[in-house]
Amino acid sequence: MTGPRTAMVLAAGLGTRMRPITDTLPKPLVEIAGRTLLDRGLDALAGAGVEKAVVNVHHLGSMIAAHVAGHQKPHIVISDESARLLDSAGGVVKALPELGSHPFYILNADTFWIERGTPELERLAEKWDDGRMDILLMLANPANATGHSGGVDFLLGEDGRLARAGGDPSGLIYGGAGIIHPRIFADAKPEPHSLNLYFDRAIAAGRLFGAAMNGHWITVGTPDAIAPAEAAIQKFSAGAA
């Protein structure tokens, strides 16, 4: 299939774990090796052929809006949640009129990766099967990740379907990127709620799928994660996403 042409970038988080940096700077604008987290994500989307990205904002949102003003590839639409933070799914529902009726990418603004071979977002697009899937998530192996301090999220079946890991050590990390069909949000309201609700519904329906990454995945959750992230870029980079 031709890859999605629209994307939702989740950039409205408070970034509390990144304080004191985020007292004066929204987390998506934190620079890692000279590039902001947000720009790394937007560049990956541009490389995958995305034409329009909706970026939701809340904490210091005017700084993000100013940063992306005039951005051409992709064209940026700001979804302002300054008055009320809508959580991951609520933010998507609010943005649906801009995202359209076809599958779209979803991307967390605070994670990125270093490509190895075919770009990861292109690999997701190649694996997307509209007849079988409602959601397709990019997954990272903990052994090939930098900065991750939590547990694993999903078990990847031989057929590509996902189940919750439940602490199983063979599980993989949700890499903060995926493809979602907007039909899953039918009748949903732009009220605060999490994408985990839709992940679980798709699991129950046998329509949540995953794809393990080839690249090296990096997340930056706290100030002391910046130095390891920059070291990983220097070690693994042949072009960071």
Inter-CA distances, 62 with 5, 11, 20, 45, 89, Å: 25, 12, 19, 22, 22
* pLDDT for the residue 71: 83
pLDDT of residue 92: 96
Q: Is 26 exposed, middle or buried (0-12, 13-18, 19+ CB in 10 A)?
A: buried
Q: Give how far the C-alpha of residue 164 lies from the chain's centroid of Cα atoms, to the nearest Å.
A: 18
Domains in the chain: boundaries: 6-236
Torsion from C-alpha of 106, 180, 13, 70, nearest 10 degrees: 40
Of the CA atoms within 13 Å of residue 116, those in its CB half-sphere come to 11
CATH of 6-236, one of 3.90.550.10, 3.40.1590.10, 3.40.50.300, 3.40.50.720: 3.90.550.10
Q: Tell me what pLDDT residue 236 has.
A: 86
Whole-number pLDDT of residue 164? 96
- SS3 of the chain: the string is CCCCCEEEEECCCCCHHHCCHHHHCCHHHCEECCEEHHHHHHHHHHHCCCCEEEEEECCCHHHHHHHHCCCCCCEEEEEECCCCCCHHHHHHHHHHHHHCCCCEEEEECCEEEECCCCCHHHHHHHHCCCCCCCEEEEEECHHHEECCCCCCCEEECCCCEEEECCCCCCCEEEEEEEEECHHHHCCCCCCCCCCHHHHHHHHHCCCEEEEECCCEEEECCCHHHHHHHHHHHHHHCCCEC
pLDDT at 70: 80
Contacts of 4 (CB under 8 A, 6+ apart): 48, 50, 102, 103, 104, 105, 125, 179
Residue 195, pLDDT score? 96
pLDDT along the chain (241 residues), means of 10: 89 90 93 94 95 95 92 92 91 95 95 92 96 97 90 94 93 96 94 95 97 94 92 76 46
> If we measure between CA atoms, which residue out of 210, 213, 208 comes closest to residue 197?
208
Asked if residues 213 and 141 have their Cβ atoms less than 8 Å apart, the reply is yes
Q: What is the pLDDT of residue 13?
A: 86
Distance between CA atoms of residues 223 and 30, nearest Å: 10
Quickly tell me which residue has 């977002």 as its tokens: 121
